[in-house]
Structures are given as C-alpha cells and as structure tokens.
Amino acid sequence: MIDEACGAWLRRFLPRPDAGLHLICVPHGGGGAGAFLGWAELLPPAIELLAVQYPGREDRLPDPMPRDMAELVTELTDAVAAVADRPYALFGHSMGATVAYEVAQEARRRGLPGPVHLVASAREAPHDEKGGDVHRGGDEDLYAELMRLGATAPDVLADPDLRAMIFAYVRADYRLIETYRPLPLPPLDCPVTVFLGDRDPDLAPDEAARWRHATRARTRLEIFPGDHFYLVPQRHAVLVSLRRVLAPYGRGAA
C-alpha cells in the first residue's frame, strides 16, 4: 500500500516519526523497494528507512518507466524534497548508486538540502561509467547477464509470462544506465562511503576507490565477502556498517 506522505516513489516499511535521520535506499537495476525489506528492523529507532520504488515493477507495475536518467532523477528528487524535513542519507546499490549520486547533484542544483552522507554500493564512480549494450541484445543475452551477476534465481524466470514482465523492466533499466553519460559537475560536498563485494565481477577495489573524485569530503571503502549481490547474504554485516557510518548524524543512530 502506498504511503500518501511518501508518494509513489518511496516506501516506508516501518514508520518512525521521531527518527532524526532518513535513510533513502535506492535499488539496483531490475530491483524495487522490496530489495530492502527487513532492513528497517535492523536499524536503530533514530533512523527511518525509505526505500525507492522505481516505476514498472512491484506495486508500480502499470506506471511507465522513465525514458532516461534525467527523467528518473527529476521525479525522484521531487520525492526526496518532500521528505527533506529532516537530514537524510542516501544508499544506492549498483545502478542505484549512480541514481543516488545524481539525486544529490540535482538537490544541490535546486538549492535543496543535500544528503549528509552517500553510500555507493557495487558501482564505479560516475566519471568512470563504462556504458554497455546489454539492453540492445536478445532475451538470451539478458538472461545470461542476470545469471552472471546472480541477480535472479533461474526458477523465477521459468514461467514465460513472469519472465516477459521481468525482462521488460530489467531491459528498461539497463537501457537507462547504459546510455547514461554524466555531466561534468563539481564534486559533492558530503562524505562518500563505498561498499563492495570482494568477488564482484565488474568492480575492483582500486576502481571503487575512485569515488574519491566525486566528493570534496572524505571517502572510505568497505569490502565484504561476496559477489555483486554480496549485500543479500551479508545483510547483517552491511547494516552494522551502515549504523556505524550514520551514527554521527542522529542521536542514538549507532
């Protein structure tokens, strides 16, 4: 059910009206707000988690998907502005890290409050964006890519109708991120922490560390056991790290 206070773009799984900090979590390409189910319960009462819900999936299945990164970021920043009555941090995984970075840049462009911290997970820095052409390939290519990253269980894609639905929004997300070209913008002002799986097939630690060029503030790299989706088996460790990262921004956040 959509929380009217959050609008179409954000999901509040565990309301915490007295929390001093919002943690806005932005999912990977092909993902939705459901990727962060169970996270809120592992955070302290001082932090309220808001999960981003992209159009075209889960409870927004009928909604048209954004044509490009600029359209997505414009609409999502509108949603973030509506809940920026208190400090907020951004956590983005894979494509979501790029989206979170662009939201932070758009907030600054509009003169809105920016994030107090950005956590970028399993994604190269925007100025190192590699592009790609997975979205141009056939269904077999898309299936192979999902299997390579461990993004989707094979049995989920066994049903033809379900497979067609999933492939539609996954392909749209791949098109969005693979055609994204960042503008030459000034670095952010907030600290950036980078999370990475030690067996991520697409990102090495020295590449992840290049997020230091995306901010004037400090950066830090944390490496977890696992592949591109390390945060699924390592959920508890990830949340422990997030609590530590966010502790300075809210009373009792640790």
Can you point out the beta strands (E) in 105-247? 118-121, 192-197, 219-224
Contact in structure between 63 and 9 (CB atoms under 8 Å): no
CA 137 from chain centre, in angstroms, equals: 24
Residue 121 annotated among the catalytic residues of the structure? no
Q: Considering the candidates 77, 94, 105, 219, report the single residue annotated as catalytic.
A: 94
Q: Measure the CA–CA gap between 140 and 225, rounded to whole angstroms.
A: 29
Positive/negative CA dihedral, 61, 129, 224, 226: positive
Can you point out the beta strands (E) in 79-166? 88-93, 118-121
Positive/negative CA dihedral, 132, 143, 103, 187: negative
Distance set, CA 147 to CA 37, 108, 132, 151, 235 (Å): 23, 37, 17, 6, 21
Active-site positions read 94
